[in-house]
A = this chain, B = another copy of it.
Amino acid sequence: MVADRGRLIGVWRGAARMAAPDPADRGLAYGDGLFETMRAHAGRLPWWPRHRARLALGAARLGIAWPDEGLLEVALAEALAEAPDGVVKLVLSRGVSARGYAPEPGQPVSLLLSVAPAPAPTVAALKVDRLELRLGVQPALAGIKHLNRLEQVLGAIEVGQRGLDEGLMADSEGRLTCGVRSNLLVRLDGRWLTPPLEHAGVAGTVRALLLASWSPPGGVQVAELPLAVLARADALLLSNALRGILPATRLGERLLDPCPPGLDTARAVLAASHPAFCEP
């Protein structure tokens, strides 16, 4: 049984297993690291290659070394033994270094593994709205899943205060970008469109899967979307690696199509790729 709050599997600094995170870890000092939150199924991580690829992209972007492969394998196996059908969270930080923003070269990276239960089945109604909070434009950090998540924390607070299930975020230049914890697909003029993630946002695993393998009526493509398009959207899909694909049923005061064209095939693509998303 996995506790609600999640459960620590282990902390490593280089190859050494530690009792706890180092107080001087740069993950804590500066958010200088990356993470992945992954859904397990029957003791496996079907999307590990996707999560690993994004983690590797982030590590390359930030100049963080890659952890020891053997250690990573052993640590993930331990997490999967503990939560074979739960959620596995992996944090990779640049490790410890002397005070100051400049990293100290050659320091071992830190790993932190924890597990949590799979999310509860989704409610039928899903109310979204655009948030007041905008995302900063930062091409150097866009797309990757780094530990600087205050914008998402503030976004989640706004979502809660407004009684929403998810919030839609635009960047500081007014481009619709993503949900607080999801990627967005917008049904507009008979096509599915999803914002590029070169200015802000995280490039999600489900989004990538849909762009590669889904052929909905009218097609799906990446397109810059000014916030104003929301007024004309017929339907919205939210995607993330823990909950899969969810249609928003309300945008502000407006009802959206809860079964838009292509939702069935999107879910079939998802289920074929990851068995945790097979309909019961």
Q: Which residues in A have some Cβ–Cβ distance to B below 8 Å?
A: 4-6, 8, 11, 19-32, 35, 37, 62-63, 87, 89, 91, 93-94, 98-103, 112, 114, 116, 133-138, 140-141, 146-157, 159-160, 172, 180-181, 200
**Could you tell me the distance in whole angstroms from the C-beta of A70 to the nearest C-beta in chain B?**
22
Report the Cα distance A5→B154, complex, angstroms: 33
Beta-carbon nearest neighbor of A114 in chain B: B23
Contact between chains at A28 and B30 (CB < 8 Å): no
A9's nearest neighbour on chain B, judged by CB, is B23
Q: Could you tell me if A136 and B137 are in contact, using CB atoms closer than 8 angstroms?
A: yes
A30 and B157 in contact (CB under 8 A), knowing A8-B23, A23-B112, A172-B172?
no
Rounded to whole angstroms, the CA-CA distance of A153 and B64 in the bound complex is 11
Q: How far is the CA of A140 from the CA of B112 in the complex (A)?
A: 29
Q: Which of A26, A102, A153 has the most CB of B within 10 A?
A: A153
Whether B150 pairs with A30 at a CB distance below 8 angstroms is: yes
A93 to B100, CA, bound (A): 19
* Seed contacts A101-B181, A136-B136; 10 additional CB < 8 Å A-B pairs: A21-B22, A28-B91, A31-B148, A62-B150, A63-B157, A100-B156, A102-B156, A102-B157, A136-B137, A137-B172
